Structure 1
Amino acid sequence: MPQTNLARKQLSGAVHQNRALSRTGLQERAFSRLFQGLVYAQIWEDPVVDMKGLALQPGDNIVCIASGGCNMMSYLTAAPGSVTAVDLSPAHVALNRLKIASATALPDQAAFYDFFGHADRPGNPALYDRYIAPVLDPVSRTWWEARQGTLPRRIEMFARGFYRFGALGRFITAMHHISRMAGVDYRPFLASRTMEDQRAFFDAQMAPLFENRLIRVLARRRASLFGLGIPPAQFEKLALDGGGDIVPVLRERTRKLMCDFPISDNYFAWAAFNRGYRDDGTGPVPPYLDPANYDAVRAYAPLASIVNRNLTDMLADRDEDSTQAFVLLDAQDWMSDAQLTALWTQITRTAASGARVLYRTGGGPDILPGRVPDALLARWRYQPGCGQLWAEDRSAIYGGVHVYKFRG
């Protein structure tokens, strides 16, 4: 089966839960088509929280969902035995393979940072041609060298501000246009010196946006949040935290993003309000881009891999007792009870003694009890301290961070 057809089939299985001609079914199919292209130029979960919650140890074998790959690459700083990633989007697979190859192919840390930290340097495509393309797998090379829109090759995105591309990049750009029309300028926020400055900006500039009638109407449309990677099933879980209304949920999570962490430490806030990391290269970045971690990322990159597969199917081909850590992102919010049970059956089969599973949910409550069979879930212990992990998650978009540990 050609790769594009396989990707469509896998996405359909993951997202489509309603009849094709129903309103929700049509929205699910529109969302799955979106995921055939680039959605996340940057993953929107905090890898520092992941590594703390998983208590990663040197030599651990890690399985994760890749998305934009920042977390997969950041786990390399923990000296893993292996990192095996999956993703249903061929674009995300191509991006992750580009990152893995670049870590060893580019000549030094400065070139690596130009490519993925600045991600807008005119010389980046030449770096790709000279260093990365010769070692990149043929499928990924074909993806990056294909034309997209007005770009002669997709790799040119790295000369034009890569983090402004993809569905998330377009969503953030649209939010900037709406904010500008409302008279909001984010530069004073990015220049904040204290948390008090950040909170004052939110109260004066951002909070009123959530009272704007047009913004409230747009926010309540499921399709409006596709750019955040939120499918219809997850939209409903988010809205439950607001008593059925998504607007107060979005307001509170925007407040957390802007007010609960110093702007000097939160690269997610820079990505949202600067549409890329700090321009001069001195601001916060994911762990894999921190110059202090470059040697570790370069050394362990050969132990990372990614495949364009469903996570459950990939685990079915994996050895028993082989994995110490699993990172599921928020994918379970999309799943039916049968899909959750199949996934946790394979997680349990492949889990080593003391293995940990970390995932996020759009709403606050854990979604597994009552949906995964009691006998299966009883083999795992929900870990204390998950509320603190959620509080420390700088991405701020999720309602809960959850960790289970394997009892055996």
Structure 2
Amino acid sequence: MSDVAAAVRRHTTSNLKQAVHRNGTLSREGAMERLFTFAFRGLVYPQIWEDPVVDMDALAIRPTDHVVTIASGGCNVMSYLVAGPAKITALDLNGAHIALNRLKLTAVRTLPGHKEFYRFFGSADRRDNVGLYEQHIRSELDETSQRYWEKRGLSGRRRIGAFSRGFYRTGLLGSFIGAAHLVARLHGCDPKRILKATTREEQREIFEKHYAPVFDSFLLRRIVANPASLYGLGIPPAQYRALAGEEGMPVVLKKRLETLCCDFDIADNYFAWQAFGRRYDTGSNPSLPPYLQQRHFETVRTRASRVDVRHQSMTRFLHTSPGASADCYVLLDAQDWMSDVDLTELWEEITRTARPGARVIFRTAADERLLPGRIPERLLSRWTYEKSRSRVLGARDRSSIYGAFHLYTLRAA
């Protein structure tokens, strides 16, 4: 491993330990936390699982806005450029996610056009994608990201080669979906069946007849009883407990899958295509993340320079930022990982750096407010919780895997 790669790996691991570890090494909970940290060091999300259309509606991004967001797989960072903010700061503790974000930003600037860009990140399984990387992207990519994508695994193949074999089948999430498909097939269920449905009535019929019974099986119940089974979704032990609640994980997962299967038209839900087809739709008018849509390509290309990608936590970044310097904060589900002390420190910095009218959005595994009783009232009272709006927006989130969506707005001083 090169010195640069080793430094990135140490930085990632150190940040993850700080975010996740809450219990002693010798306790069962502590062992599970350390197993998660080990699993999370590599690529987790080849695609982010928060709906950017909902995000942009909630944030109402303006031309002068500075958006501060957790980067994850970069789909939403790229898609926010369609709304035209003045600046986006994308932050992540995971070095693989940083490399993926920088690859996307470099690719949209250097590839000849939308056809090649879509081939690389939309299809993500074409043999000539490696040629596109070598010819157009590599020389413009920063050294750290270049080293990441060109590192060879145990198979002897470079990581960049995943874009010629099926990138969305990689990472912890890709492996998790693959394992879920295997379990479904062991129960006689074809996961791809629902992709052929033409009406919501047909979608529900397929769910009830083919998918729902799998959740009553002994095998699935045994598998999901272990918190490690959901590491592929990037869910640490503390978040697992919040997600399972009193109902138990099989019931919760069944409800979330029912929403994904039945509440949105399959033809308009690229999250369902990734879940059941492990790819995007290839039809004449496919559902895609905004950044991959042809009509937005030139806009995203022109505005790509507005994104600043950083390998650090949001709290650390905000701590070094001037007061009143940001307008929109996107926390994804990161707060489900945090202790009360961590939450308070984060919201101290959000409140200090927020400009008048600032908006904060985040999601939670369970259907809960999360913040009341956990951060001081002096902080919480500075913000208005948009309860009705949050419910409406949450119901529109096509990914369907979270318990709730939350929108807070800064109150006038």
- Report the TM range for the smaller structure's normalisation: over 0.9
Rounded Cα–Cα distance in structure 2 between residues aligned with 1:226 and 1:152: 25
Map of 1:320 onto structure 2: 323
- Aligned pair 1:386/2:390, yes or no? yes
- Aligned pair 1:147/2:152, yes or no? yes
C-alpha contact 1:124 1:159 (8 A) present in aligned 2: yes
Rounded Cα–Cα distance in structure 1 between residues aligned with 2:156 and 2:352: 45
Rounded Cα–Cα distance in structure 2 between residues aligned with 1:61 and 1:25: 37
Map of 1:72 onto structure 2: 77
Rounded Cα–Cα distance in structure 2 between residues aligned with 1:144 and 1:280: 30
Map of 2:214 onto structure 1: 209
Matches within 5 A, 1:6-405: 6-240=11-245, 243-280=246-283, 282-383=285-386, 384-405=388-409
Rounded Cα–Cα distance in structure 2 between residues aligned with 1:248 and 1:188: 22
Deviation of 1:282 after TM superposition, in Å, equals 3.9
Counterpart amino acid of residue 404 in structure 1:
Y
Q: Secondary structure at the match of 2:266?
A: coil
Q: Secondary structure at the match of 1:199?
A: helix
Counterpart amino acid of residue 269 in structure 2:
N
Q: 1:71 to 1:281 in 2, by over 3 A?
A: farther
Counterpart amino acid of residue 405 in structure 2:
V
Rounded Cα–Cα distance in structure 2 between residues aligned with 1:198 and 1:151: 42
Rounded Cα–Cα distance in structure 1 between residues aligned with 2:135 and 2:269: 33
Counterpart amino acid of residue 195 in structure 1:
R
Rounded Cα–Cα distance in structure 2 between residues aligned with 1:314 and 1:125: 34
Deviation of 1:151 after TM superposition, in Å, equals 4.9
Q: Secondary structure at the match of 2:267?
A: coil
Rounded Cα–Cα distance in structure 1 between residues aligned with 2:212 and 2:247: 20
Counterpart amino acid of residue 174 in structure 2:
G
Rounded Cα–Cα distance in structure 1 between residues aligned with 2:135 and 2:167: 19
Rounded Cα–Cα distance in structure 2 between residues aligned with 1:113 and 1:282: 14
Counterpart amino acid of residue 199 in structure 2:
T
Aligned-residue CA RMSD (Å): 1.1
C-alpha contact 2:118 2:292 (8 A) present in aligned 1: yes
Counterpart amino acid of residue 91 in structure 1:
A
Rounded Cα–Cα distance in structure 2 between residues aligned with 1:187 and 1:24: 36
Deviation of 1:114 after TM superposition, in Å, equals 0.3
Counterpart amino acid of residue 272 in structure 1:
A
Rounded Cα–Cα distance in structure 2 between residues aligned with 1:203 and 1:149: 42
Deviation of 1:182 after TM superposition, in Å, equals 1.2
Rounded Cα–Cα distance in structure 2 between residues aligned with 1:403 and 1:36: 30
Deviation of 1:58 after TM superposition, in Å, equals 2.0
State how many pairs are aligned: 406
**CA offset digits 1:103-131 (Å, max 9, x no partner):** 11111000000010000111101101111
**CA offset digits 1:297-351 (Å, max 9, x no partner):** 1111010121110110011111211111000000000000000000001101111
Counterpart amino acid of residue 142 in structure 1:
R
C-alpha contact 1:66 1:85 (8 A) present in aligned 2: yes
Counterpart amino acid of residue 237 in structure 2:
P
Deviation of 1:283 after TM superposition, in Å, equals 1.7
Runs of 4+ deviating beyond 3 Å? 279-282
Deviation of 1:91 after TM superposition, in Å, equals 0.4
- The unaligned stretches of length 5 or more in structure 1 are none
Q: TM-score when scaled to structure 2?
A: 0.97
Rounded Cα–Cα distance in structure 2 between residues aligned with 1:398 and 1:36: 23
C-alpha contact 2:185 2:191 (8 A) present in aligned 1: no
Rounded Cα–Cα distance in structure 2 between residues aligned with 1:187 and 1:331: 31
Counterpart amino acid of residue 296 in structure 1:
T
- The unaligned stretches of length 5 or more in structure 2 are 1-5
